[in-house]
Chains A and B, each alone.
Chain A
Amino acid sequence: MLADGTYTAKVELDMGPYLGKVAAEQTVQIRK
């Protein structure tokens, strides 16, 4: 279980011949 707090969320996806590897990072707040 993740603790409340600020995290960097990194998302990656291999889009193959269309766009190659697509990645992004974003700061997210997690509060339960």
Chain B
Amino acid sequence: MKALPDKNRILWLLLAVGVLSAVAIYRIGFHIPVPAFNEEALKSLEQSRSQEAEPEPASEPPPAADSRAELPAEHPYRSEHPLYFRVAFGVEGTDSMLGMIDESGGTGKGYDVAYVDENMNGDLTDDAAKKFSRIEQGSRAGQLDRRFEFTGPFKTGQTAKYTLDIYGLPYWSHQDIQRLGSSFIWFLDVNQWNYFFINGKMTLFPTAADALKNAPVRLGGPCKWDISTRTRDGKPMISAALKYENGCTLRIVRCAGQTISPTLTLIQDGKVKARENMKFG
């Protein structure tokens, strides 16, 4: 009586071993992952399936290029004393944009980077940084140049390249810059024409609000001739300067690489007594 149950147990045991062996051979032979040991693989499979299941609508436009790519990952302002300015453009001067100068190395390390609201959306954080270029000329090698370039409005529907060169900016403290103001020169490049203005004077403000409520720096604008005479070494000299409101004076104008000279005509009693090209300088 005892032999029969033992025999049945052995048969059941053999059957169980056989089933387990068959399952193991099936798993190993067909490389099917066992869920408990391949959760990561399954998760990644689910993710890839969910991405495939939710494609972007075909009607949406492709994403615009990210203009913040050149900005640091964290908040772009590194100085405790960023300095702000506002520039207006063109003869009408109706368009203006905010700019900000920062110290990329931290407070007291020198102003070496600028942000200008080139897209004119009132947000400086989505504009690319304008790193001041480094000078590599003899003993001045490694020093920072103080100029930076940006695109701004020129005339209706047109833009131009502007280059603003602010004296002493990389080397002065923020107190000095605000106390003394800052002299600047600037360049305008449009089509084949290049303009260079000197003797500008601008104020840099401690806040954007201050820059916005004060008069902007004008880049471009209506100019007036200032004509004067003097005597040097017994010879009469006539000079003429093309100036506009913030003191900027035209230093040179070129077209396709050729300097364009002003023409001076001297008239007396209705007759032309002299006519000649003037020289810049």
Q: Does B71 contact A (CB under 8 A)?
A: no
A-contacting residues, B225-274, CB 8 Å: 225, 227-229, 231, 234-236, 238, 240, 242, 253, 255, 260-268, 273-274
CB atoms of A28 and B227 under 8 A apart: yes
From the candidates A13, A14, A31, name the one contacting B231 in the complex (CB within 8 A): A31
Q: Does B172 contact A (CB under 8 A)?
A: no
Question: A22-B223, A24-B224 are contacts. A12–B262 as well, Cβ < 8 Å?
Answer: yes
The answer for the CA separation of A30 and B267 in the assembled complex, in Å, is 12
- Contact residues in A for B231 (Cβ distance below 8 Å): 31-32
From the candidates B190, B225, B273, name the one contacting A2 in the complex (CB within 8 A): B273
- Contact residues in B for A31 (Cβ distance below 8 Å): 231, 236
Please classify the interface of chain A as helix (H, G, I), strand (E, B), loop, or mixed, using the class held by over half of its residues: strand
CB atoms of A17 and B225 under 8 A apart: no
Please classify the interface of chain B as helix (H, G, I), strand (E, B), loop, or mixed, using the class held by over half of its residues: strand
* Chain A residue at minimum C-beta to C-beta distance from B275: A10
From the candidates A6, A15, A28, name the one contacting B253 in the complex (CB within 8 A): A15
Q: Does B222 contact A (CB under 8 A)?
A: yes
Using C-beta atoms within 8 Å of the partner chain, give the interface range for chain B.
Answer: 35 or more
CB atoms of B220 and A13 under 8 A apart: no
From the candidates A15, A16, A22, A29, name the one contacting B229 in the complex (CB within 8 A): A29
Instruction: Show 28 residue pairs from A and B whose CB-CB distance is below 8 angstroms, ordered by the A residue.
Output: A2-B273, A2-B274, A6-B268, A9-B240, A9-B267, A10-B267, A11-B225, A11-B262, A11-B278, A12-B262, A13-B242, A13-B253, A13-B263, A14-B260, A15-B223, A16-B191, A16-B260, A17-B154, A17-B155, A18-B220, A19-B91, A24-B224, A24-B227, A28-B227, A28-B228, A31-B231, A32-B234, A32-B236
Known contacts A2-B236, A19-B223, then 4 further A-B pairs from the complex at CB < 8 Å, ordered by chain A residue: A10-B267, A12-B263, A13-B261, A17-B190
